[in-house]
Amino acid sequence: MKLEHVLLGMVAMRPCTGYDLKRWLDSEMGRMLRIRTQQSQVYRTLNRMCADGWVRYDVQRNEGRPDAKVYVAAEAGERELRERLAVPYVPSPDFGDPEFLVRYTFAIFLDRDEQVRLVQTELDARLAQLDRFRAREIRDEPWLPGVDRPRMAQILDHVHGYKDLALDTHVRWLKQTLAELTEKAG
């Protein structure tokens, strides 16, 4: 998801200054979503979003400190965000791609059925990926002379084991989340 949609999602949920938005992007949650940007880019994007009518701001007067622009989503911005979230989700081949988590972070703008569909789509893709991943073919690689073959095989097994555990954890979380969502809906 583009930076402008992430910022739009945040200001659609609560009033934010550019500083608040950058602080959130630099938090653990923001870093997990892998959205890296400079403060200047946040302000340039907010200015463009204002020009496009997606956000508006009020100036907050601060004694002894610079005044702050406090941004909120305009009606056109909320419409844009909902349209962006309505685009069908297509899971990335890399389960670590942040698109799913970014969309899920803004699931408050989806109805319950859309939220369930989003999680189910991700779960179906990851279950199929897990099957392919666990059925991998282990072949003897043509390593260069000097590469310790048994040690290299062990290293690759460790990496595969890590990815297997990470993907398995993601699938478990998806199943639990889906169960909670469908239990509340039923």
Residue-wise DSSP of 102-121? HHHHTGGGS-HHHHHHHHHH
Q: How far is CA 98 from the centre of its chain?
A: 4
pTM: 0.85
Same domain, 108 and 128: yes
Instruction: Name which residue leads in pLDDT, 23 or 184.
Output: 23
> Which of 30-39, 42-51, 80-89 is least confident?
30-39
Residue 186 confidence (pLDDT): 57
Number of domains into which the chain is organized: 2
Among 87, 109, 136, give the residue marking a domain's end: 87
Residue 184 confidence (pLDDT): 63
Among 64, 87, 110, give the residue marking a domain's end: 87
Same domain, 125 and 184: yes
Same domain, 100 and 125: yes
Same domain, 67 and 5: yes
First and final C-alpha spacing in the chain: 31
Task: Render pLDDT for 7-17 as a digit per residue (tens, 0 to 9).
Answer: 999 999 999 99
Residue 121 confidence (pLDDT): 97
Mean per-residue pLDDT of the chain: 90
Task: Render pLDDT for 93-112 as a digit per residue (tens, 0 to 9).
Answer: 988 888 999 999 999 999 99
Domain that holds residue 125: 88-186
Average pLDDT over residues 37-55: 93
Pairing between β-strand 55-60 and β-strand 68-73 as defined by DSSP bridges: antiparallel
Same domain, 80 and 94: no
Same domain, 101 and 150: yes
Same domain, 97 and 158: yes
Of 55, 103, 109, which is closest to residue 82 (Cα–Cα)? 109
Same domain, 47 and 92: no
Same domain, 123 and 179: yes
Q: Write the single-letter amino acid at 17.
A: T
Same domain, 93 and 181: yes
The answer to whether 18 touches 42, Cβ cutoff 8 Å, is yes
Among 59, 87, 115, give the residue marking a domain's end: 87
Same domain, 93 and 23: no
**CATH for 64:** 1.10.10.10
**Distance in angstroms (rounded) separating the CA atoms of residues 109 and 122:** 18
Same domain, 19 and 51: yes
Average pLDDT over residues 172-180: 96
